[in-house]
Structure 1
Amino acid sequence: MSTPPSPSIAEPLYGASFGQAIVRFFRKYATFSGRASRSEYWWWQLATTLVYLVLAALALGIGFATGGLNAEGDVFYLSPAFNIGIALAAGWAVVTLIPQIAIAVRRLHDVNLSGWLVLLRLLPSVGDVILLVLTVLPPNPAGARFDKR
């Protein structure tokens, strides 16, 4: 029995695996047209969260390992080496900023909503909650209107 061919990179991949979602994320680095399936979007969210957790643990580990007590011995401080981990996290944020916005736009397209709704993130607190709800909605076939023709 042969496996069905996977859709082209221009189409959403429903039921994407973790690895497929990561590969597609970077292959569609700054692509704002088209659609992204829920699995593509949420696997990427998990991956980037894991990267941030590892970088935070690295920063704290370096900071605590090279930190110490102040001269009076009453306050523990993180060493300046802590900034290495912070710089790595900031670098990751910069490198993934545009594609993070792009995948959110494509996810909104898959629900048949305008990608401009990603600007809801600019609303403190409530914007992220609204965007969260919108990204968990099931795909809408009418979202195909956002595909390149």
Structure 2
Amino acid sequence: MGGGMPAGFGQPGPDGTVPLDQPHYGASMKEATIRFFKKYVRFNGFASRSEFWWPVISLIIIQFILVIPYFIGVVTAASASSYSSTGASGGGGAAAFGVILMVIFGGLLLLFSLAIILPSIAVTVRRLHDAGYSGWWYLLTLVPPGNIVVLIFCALESKPEKWQPEWYDQGA
């Protein structure tokens, strides 16, 4: 037994913004990423495809920016250490610089990853709801091929006719 979408649901209000307790269809990258963080741990409700995919792209870009200096540090430390193991001198400064890069950017990457765990799970659960699936399907990500299934579910169109009343965000 499905619920369906109420009239006017997901449409902008008088101020031109879509309320946070409703999905924002056609959200821009900026709007979707802001909503991603504003709805930090809301597991009820729905997320449009744009609300799901734009933050995914934003977060990948941020992580890529953090990973580049980290790997520069890895390569610098490794090459300096192999250079000094051949008996040549002068690789200590480069190795130290590489280790410093690894520690700083590895730490930033760890902190960023920890900060986005809960909102990433929450937006995926809301996206599953929007596609007509229970949020419990997220547990498939715990088994190796399951994350592909969840990714496919997240790529599907919205199915308001399959929405369940308990999935609605009560604006908490």
**TM-score class normalised by the smaller sequence:** 0.7 to 0.9
Question: Aligned residues: percent identity?
Answer: 30
Matches within 5 A, 1:1-149: 5-65=16-76, 68-70=80-82, 71-73=84-86, 79-81=98-100, 82-124=102-144, 126-142=145-161, 143=163, 145=165, 146-149=167-170
Deviation digits for residues 76-134 of structure 1 (CA, Å, limit 9, x no counterpart): 9963221221111111110111111000000000011100111111001x111101110
Work out the CA distance in 2 between the residues paired with 1:64 and 1:133: 36
Deviation digits for residues 25-49 of structure 1 (CA, Å, limit 9, x no counterpart): 1110010000000001000100110
Go from structure 1 to structure 2 and tell me whether the alpha carbon gap of 1:114 and 1:120 turns closer, same or farther (over 3 Å shift).
Answer: same
Give the stretch that moved more between structures: 35-44 or 139-148. Answer: 139-148
Instruction: Tell me which of the two structures has the higher relative contact order, counting C-alpha pairs closer than 8 angstroms and 6 or more residues apart.
Output: 2
Amino acid paired to 1:135: C
Structure with bigger gyration radius: 2
Q: Which blocks of at least 5 consecutive residues in structure 1 are unaligned?
A: none
Q: Which TM-score applies when normalising by structure 1? A: 0.87
- Root-mean-square deviation over aligned CA pairs: 2.3
SS in structure 1 of the partner of residue 23 of structure 2: coil
Shift of 1:58: 1.8
| Count of residues in Structure 1 that have an aligned counterpart in Structure 2 | 145
1:34 and 1:144 in contact (8 A); partners too: no
Deviation digits for residues 18-72 of structure 1 (CA, Å, limit 9, x no counterpart): 0000110111001000000000100010011011100100212344456614332
Work out the CA distance in 2 between the residues paired with 1:111 and 1:34: 11
